Amino acid sequence: MQKTVTKLADGRELIYYDPDGDVLRDATDLRTLGPVAVRSEIRLDPVLGDRVTVAAHRQGRPYQPPAGDCPLCPSRAGRSTEIPAADYKVVVFENRFPSLSADRAGRVPDSGSPLFRSEPGTGRCEVVCFTSDHDASFADLSESRAALVLDAWIDRTRELTALPAVRQVYCFENRGTEIGVTLPHPHGQIYAYPFTTPRTDKMIARAAEYRRRTGRNLSEDLLAAERLDRRRLVLTGEHWTAFVPFAARWPYEVHLYPVRRVPDLPALGPAERAEFPRIYLELLRRFDRLFDTPADGEDAAEPGPSSPTPYIAAWHQAPRDGGEELSLHLELFTIRRAANKFKFLAGVESGQDAFVNDVLPEAAARRLREVAS
């Protein structure tokens, strides 16, 4: 892999990732850009103890621009974008509308009460462009390109984790307007948090309690139990296992674990890295085929979806400190529960964080096996 680091016109970092070592990347950002204006703070919820990032400046970010105005496409004559080059393979750059920023987080005024605690929104937010093809998706990538994206995730996790203020690195992709994506170009994001996220804190606490009670690792035992049960297995390889979780929250939700427990992306070995693209691309392609034909119990006359399956793909990895019991894994899920039906967070989910799933996890796993390539 070749990595080329450069700067955009406003000083933000941009990194090209190429599979070969002889690619010349000397394109210059010709735009005239003012400094990135970040007004971000992290407030502590006095009732729940959760941290909430407040980033009001993000209201002005682009929303669903026409394809000809996409800021993630390569630059061309007469039109400069976030990527100065005329073409690229995989690109990572600092978000111009970040929720968190190491250099530009402002001072937080005194709240006037010890109940109202806040701190600057220190951290880093990056955009990961998977391909220069505006109309593609991750599922359209070749295995070699998916491997290059994995290389970029690994590299960014390693570098961002080394930053003094960063405690957790989170790589993820949102796909589909139904999810809330503001730019349709195939891309993901990376957040480098100055704190451990609430979901990770819960996973750490559960794993620690399981270790105290049994003397064993929760992730290892969970994966072994799913592989033995087999009803919720979706796809297995030599080094990766995909299954629908026993208590899935979302209609179609798959967790992808390496068979060998590792804490984070940089800890993956050569064999695990080599097998991942085939397994992950097959999962994404199955998600896109889920609603091509009605599943059992659905109306056969119901028309298919008008857009590709929306999904969130989220890497969970151990934070820098205190996550020794956690296992790296990817969670892939969609809010679509039928061809023209969606699961939106209603009163019990949004109000009480108590999920109700309309699809039996075993049925979801069976359906995902039925749509195999």
Per-residue pLDDT reduced to its tens digit, 94-125: 999 999 988 655 566 677 788 999 998 999 99
Chain mean position to CA 312: 7
Residue 300 pLDDT greater than 70, yes or no: no
Distance CA 322, CA 211 (A): 14
Q: Please state, for a pLDDT cut of 90, what percent of the chain lies above it.
A: 78
Helices (H), ranges, the chain = 143-161, 198-214, 218-229, 270-289, 347-352, 361-370
Distance CA 134, CA 74 (A): 9
Distance CA 373, CA 370 (A): 9
DSSP at 115 = T
Model pLDDT for residues 172-191, shown as the tens digit of each residue: 999 999 998 989 999 999 99
DSSP at 186 = S
Which strand (E) or helix (H) includes residue 273? helix 270-289
Residue with tokens 């889920």: 290
Beta carbons within 10 angstroms of residue 149's beta carbon = 26
* Token code pair at residue 15: 């990194």
Is the backbone of residue 65 left (phi > 0), alpha (psi -120 to 50) or beta? beta
What's the number of CA atoms in the CB half-sphere (13 Å) around residue 189?
17
Model pLDDT for residues 334-343, shown as the tens digit of each residue: 999 998 899 9
Residue 131 pLDDT greater than 80, yes or no: yes
**What's the whole-number mean pLDDT along residues 351-360?**
95
CB 30 within 8 A of CB 9: yes
* Token code pair at residue 256: 């992808």
Q: Residue 290: pLDDT band by 50, 70, 90 thresholds?
A: very high
Model pLDDT for residues 20-59, shown as the tens digit of each residue: 888 889 889 989 998 887 888 999 999 999 999 998 888 7
Residue 298 pLDDT greater than 80, yes or no: no
Residue 301 pLDDT greater than 50, yes or no: no
Supply the residues annotated as catalytic: 187
Domains and CATH numbers, the chain: 2-195 (3.30.428.10), 199-370 (3.30.428.10)
Residue with tokens 């796909």: 175
**What's the whole-number mean pLDDT along residues 194-208?**
96
